[in-house]
Structure 1
Amino acid sequence: MGLTPAGERVWDAAREIFYQEGVRSTGVAEIAERSGVGKPSIYRAFGSKDELAVAYLREKGISPQEIIETVRAACPGDPRAQLRRVVAEIAEAIAAPGHRGCPLANTVVEFPDRAHPVRVAAQEQKQRYLELFTELVEPLPLADPGQVAYLIQMLVDGAHITSQVFDPGRSAAGLVTAVDRLLDAFLDQEESDVH
């Protein structure tokens, strides 16, 4: 981003507050107070709170291509192991202390207007993750990899949410089990359809 030291303090404060307290409920005054940088400087560096929030959401989105390359190198020729590795990493994040759910999903809930630029940025990142899951399941013998990927995304989002209501460790472990059972069910179905 090429930020000044003051801009870095704003960026760090905004990212922390957005994740812990939500984007919509966070005001520029709170970011200014936490960072020690005046509101005019924040507007000069970032334009608006919405622009700062969009940058935050884009940063939260890990590059799906990087994930694919990493898991393919770690588990060459084994698409199921690649998917398991990604799901295990998500589960680990869900069980980590201080986890407050998926920042993208949290933001989508905060902004009901589907055309709002902050919501659009969150949705775009969620779409990239859905495409990641689709790419991971496509090599498996499935009639509809897109549907399976969508169901996996639902399980991931559900685990993020239940970790905020119930035991995070249980939600994380449940995610791993549920994705495995989902795949087993679809793969068994494909096999029985062939015979």
Structure 2
Amino acid sequence: MTSEERTPAGQRVWETARELFYREGVRSCGVAEIAEHSGVGKPSIYRNFGSKDELAVAYLREKAVPPREILRAAQEAYPGDARAQLRRVVAEIAREITAPGHRGCPLANAVVEFPDRTHPVREAAEALKREYLGLFRELVAPLPVGDPENLAHLIQMLVEGAHITGQIFGPDRSAANLVDATDRLVDSYLSD
């Protein structure tokens, strides 16, 4: 449901849930807490969103910038320069890691919160993560590398690690090291 389709109460629920899910985690926020913070009764929440799981899946989809948009922006910024496109995407992720209030990747956070791979929130988070892996695959495919599939997977691992270490050790170093490590990794894969 888009913001235009939501009732005013539904919009308050949406804004409250997005904030609580990111700050506190999806599992730790119940419908009662969302109702209390939004000033909207539980029946209205269910009328607007169906269930907490549906609300959480919508939240994840909203938080995930579509990889097609990311790829298109990189290609427009650096037409014909695959390495510069990859650097741009990684630099954007690094900037995100250093943004005030950043609490890690919401998709990765959801995967950790929902260990059951069949849970709808977990399924949505994994599907969106696979799309990001596909983005890295597309970014490295034009490069003269021996194993682009593995390189894409390793870059995804660096991104995930940077989000986590940014939470543990501080964002600035993790963001800078993400950019540096990705460059070094790509260099190690380039064919002579």
Q: Pick one of 83, 88, 95 that aligns with 1:85.
A: 88
Deviation at 1:15, TM superposition (A): 0.4
2:149 aligned partner: 146
The AA in structure 1 aligned to 2:7 is T
The 5 Å alignment of 1:50-69 reads 50-69=53-72
- SS at 1:26 equivalent: coil
Give me the identity figure in percent.
Answer: 70
Structure 2 unaligned blocks of 5 or more: none
1:72 aligns with 2:75: yes
- Kindly report which structure 2 residues correspond to 1:27-38, keeping only aligned pairs within 5 A, or say none: 27-38=30-41
Q: Which digits, 9 at most, give the CA deviation of each residue in 1:87-112, with x for residues without a partner?
A: 00000000111000000000000000
**SS of residue in 1 equivalent to 2:27:** coil
Distance in structure 2 (CA, Å) of the matches to 1:167 and 1:46:
36
Show the 5 A alignment for 1:1-195: 1=2, 2-187=5-190, 190-191=191-192
**1:101-150 deviations in whole A, cap 9, x for unaligned?**
00000000000000100000000100000000000000001121110000
Output the amino acid matched with 1:93: E
Question: Which residue identity is paired with 1:128?
Answer: E
- 1:61 deviates by 1.5
Normalising by the residue count of structure 1, what TM-score does the alignment of the two structures yield? Answer: 0.95
* TM superposition shift of 1:24: 0.8
Separation of aligned partners in 1, 2:72 and 2:106:
24
Counterpart of 1:89, as a letter, is: E
Is the contact between residue 147 and residue 189 of structure 2 (CA under 8 Å) also seen in structure 1? no
Q: Which runs of 5+ in 1 are unaligned?
A: none
Cα distance in structure 2, aligned partners of 1:154 and 1:77: 26
* Displacement of 1:60: 1.4
Equivalent-residue separation in structure 2 for 1:186 and 1:83 (angstroms) = 14
Alpha-carbon RMSD: 0.6
1:68 & 1:92 partners in 2: Cα distance?
Answer: 17
- The number of residues matched between the two structures is 189
Letter in 2 for 1:56: Y
Please report how far the alpha carbon of residue 37 of structure 1 lies from its aligned counterpart in structure 2 after TM superposition: 0.4
